[in-house]
A = this chain, B = another copy of it.
């Protein structure tokens, strides 16, 4: 046998490059995160939707750009010569679904989903080819009430994961404020786009490179421009306090402050990458001095339905990825100790009791308990070892005596404590 084996080509046990296997302990953590996400957004009346990871490639060409589709997504031709993409983001999908049934659905709509998303990237720390992302979107309302709600939902999500206000900071901006400033400087559309992209990556490049690039775009004005984008006060002086966009943002910040969300500030240099944002944007940052990274963000994108030949529809949303959030929780020591979903392991002492033990287990299951029954008939000590290894909290051993008396000695596998309980007591004990 082994000779035959050695000849055959051995298949690797590694997952595909850049994706993750979720062993039960990893899955527990993921389910914990998904549970908090669901609980938070459903609390605000968001309902879940879903879709396939397969989408026609053209869906992303419109607003994401040919280059990204060709170079940063998984796009391939199926046997019918159709170009298919593994979705790199969820927003085009949700816009497609709403566009398809706009009339039936009515509005406003509060929708969420926790899709897996794919990016073809060089694999490096924290940059995976597949990750999960909570997507929360509110369609059909123009008023700033939506911004208030979306920020509140994002804030509550992080708080529900155990973070304190000091652990993170919410930065808000409105792209129309940047546009108003660009207009003051008389910039052309091309200059505006270049400057936005430059500001977006300002934190990632040396100050000198930023200054040089800025000068290349707007020449002599670059010093004056920088002094304004470095000071919110100067910006407001420049645009005037009567500017609609400034007033709206100030009002938003004041309302959120009054509602108890105080770790919030205006950051006129917050741009966010996606092309489809049309006004308000926000992003949440870790305040850890070692690593002030962005956790997640979102914004308003009122025009996306136009790519389906439909009228525009107001929309505000955000996407929060699992990898970044789990990193944040780890950094701030907020990962919970998660228990196994199994409540009790039943160890079999005698060979012929299979059916009686299954009956006892079924009784416990009917009370909502999760029970794993031993099928190996190994030595008791080995069964205890196995249950401990799998982090099951309690064990009972059942032999003829227990079948008759219906009394069981429950052992806590962490502390080693033992306790004799009748069946009904056992149920209550395990449910606590």
Contact = CB atoms under 8 A, between A and B. Distances in A.
A236 interface: no
Interface residues of A, number: 97
Interface in A90-107: 96-97, 99-101, 105-107
A51 interface: yes
Nearest to A98: B13
A145 B355 CA distance: 9
Contacts of A354: 145, 148, 255
Interface string A41-79: 011110111111111101100100000000000101011
B11 A59 contact: yes
A370 B355 CA distance: 44
Interface in A378-399: 386, 389-390
A153 to B, nearest CB: 11
Contact of A24 (B19, B49, B79, B342): B49
**How many copies altogether?**
2
Contacts of A415: none
A62 B80 CA distance: 27
Interface string A110-152: 1100001010100000000110000000101101011011001
Contact of A375 (B30, B108, B120): B108
Interface stretch (A165-173, A303-311, A329-337): A303-311
Contacts of A191: none
A406 interface: no
A258 B11 CA distance: 43
Interface of A: 5, 8, 10-17, 19-24, 26-28, 30-31, 42-45, 47-56, 58-59, 62, 74, 76, 78-80, 82, 84, 96-97, 99-101, 105-108, 110-111, 116, 118, 120, 129-130, 138, 140-141, 143, 145-146, 148-149, 152, 255, 258-259, 306-309, 340-342, 345, 354-355, 358-359, 365, 369-373, 375-377, 386, 389-390
Given A43-B371, A54-B129, A258-B355, 14 more contacts: A5-B309, A11-B58, A12-B58, A16-B82, A19-B52, A20-B52, A21-B100, A22-B51, A23-B49, A28-B47, A43-B370, A108-B386, A143-B377, A259-B355
